[in-house]
Amino acid sequence: MRSQHKDCSDWLIGELNRNISTFDDSTSSLLQGEERAFNLGCTLLREDAESLEARSKSSRSVRQRAREFLKDIFQSLGPEVFLLCTLGSITKLGENASHIRLSTIQNWWNSTSHPQGLARVAKELCEANAVDDLISSSQKQHGLLKRQCVPLESHLPVLPVTVDARRTESDGQTQNVQGTPSLRVQQEVTEVSAVSSNDSHFTTAQEQLVLENASLRGIAKVFDGYMCDAIRRVTVEGDLKVAITMVFPGWGGPVDCVMSLDVCEWDIAQLAMALFNAEVKWVGHVLHVVLENGMTLTTETSEVTLKGVEDQAINKVFGPEIHDAITECPVRRRELTEGKHVTECVSMILTKNGAIINLSLGLEGGLQIQNKLYT
């Protein structure tokens, strides 16, 4: 599966190593070609919608991806790495941006030397060009809010460590869900202390609030570097986003909020092992799932769901904030009173093209996470 999705992190590290080699502790200015490249990067940040619209569709897409990546680099790693990224080709950066793992770049930056001259020049140039202001002023509201009136299925009880295989309706064809994954949830969200019942973000009975495609900046506030990289990137109106959907059901049921993560293919095996202690792999059109007790499921169905995760695994993979939000969920509270050590609040839907991880969260924790992801 990995061969179908390139990882361009090593390419960028090679570029960064080449660019950083021109700096030492005494460097006080850029070379002429470097200065020109940096100015082009700043011009990209200043580019308004009208100027961008005048370009071809392919050029717009590349430039928007490059701009979003530079913003993320500046906010995550600072002016030095931002400067180094601008010294290369903007076009190549935009073409490869969605295949670069920021955690890999951060590991490189943490392990390499930092010439004093680079820090000095980067600080002076970024301040002189008001890069911080350029990035802040161009930030958009990333959450896409929409109302839906959706029939809600009953919440099905799940035994610990359950494997559920079923075929999709489209003649058995695999469906990689993006945007609004299929959810078995229903819950009334009418009394929220921090939000007025008249707030337009919330829906009436028999409707549910759906938020799609989180911001790159937002996921770094919720997940660690590995999980940030493991979630699929999508382009929405030219902007690079993260394929996370949050659903707040509009009326009674055991779940307040469901978060769905569209996972990249190459991270499926590691996450399945970390969460369910299950080995998963596709061999041709056949999925093999080897469970902890040695039992093996072999199926040609186009969709298989794994359920049943321990608290320790949730905390390790998703972090304490997600763990606490799951613990707050009514379903998890009921499980704890029943003495269940694994929870049905985490599931992983496996398809031939990827996987969806569904997390059932409590309302308060879900709202706090929503505010981080979609602002």
Residue-level length of the chain: 375
Average pLDDT, the chain: 78
Q: pLDDT-derived band of residue 174, with 50, 70 and 90 as boundaries?
A: very low
| Cα separation, 284 vs 165, whole angstroms | 17
The pLDDT score that the predictor gives to residue 41 is 92
Rounded to 5 degrees, what are φ and ψ at 26? Answer: -100, 0
**On the CB side of 255, how many CA atoms lie within 13 Å of its CA?**
26
| Cα separation, 11 vs 21, whole angstroms | 16
Q: Which of 116-120, 133-137, 203-207, 253-257 shows the lowest per-residue confidence on average (mean pLDDT)?
A: 203-207
Residue 58 tokens read as 């392919």
Q: pLDDT-derived band of residue 240, with 50, 70 and 90 as boundaries?
A: confident
The pLDDT score that the predictor gives to residue 167 is 36
| Cα separation, 66 vs 82, whole angstroms | 12
Sequence ranges of the domains in the chain: 2-138, 144-373
For 211-223, what is each residue's pLDDT tens digit?
999 999 899 999 9
Mean pLDDT of 349-362: 88
Of 302, 283, 41, 266, nearest to 176 (Cα)?
Answer: 302
Query: pTM of whole model > 0.75?
Result: no
Q: Using only C-alpha atoms, what is the Rg of the chain?
A: 23
Q: pLDDT-derived band of residue 158, with 50, 70 and 90 as boundaries?
A: very low
Residue 360: count of CB within 10 angstroms of its CB: 27
| Cα separation, 197 vs 200, whole angstroms | 8
Beta bridge partners of 303: 166
Which amino acid is it at 196? Answer: S
For 296-305, what is each residue's pLDDT tens digit?
888 877 678 8
For 294-333, what is each residue's pLDDT tens digit?
788 888 776 788 999 999 999 999 999 999 999 999 999 9
Contacts of 183 (CB under 8 A, 6+ apart): 247, 258, 260, 358
Share of the chain above pLDDT 70, in %: 78
For residue 204, the SS3 value is: coil
Mean pLDDT of 339-357: 89
The pLDDT score that the predictor gives to residue 172 is 36
Q: pLDDT-derived band of residue 264, with 50, 70 and 90 as boundaries?
A: confident
**On the CB side of 191, how many CA atoms lie within 13 Å of its CA?**
1
Q: Which of 6-20, 75-89, 107-121, 179-193 shows the lowest per-residue confidence on average (mean pLDDT)?
A: 179-193
Residue 144 tokens read as 């896409």
Q: Decide which of 152 and 44 is more confident.
A: 44
The pLDDT score that the predictor gives to residue 251 is 61
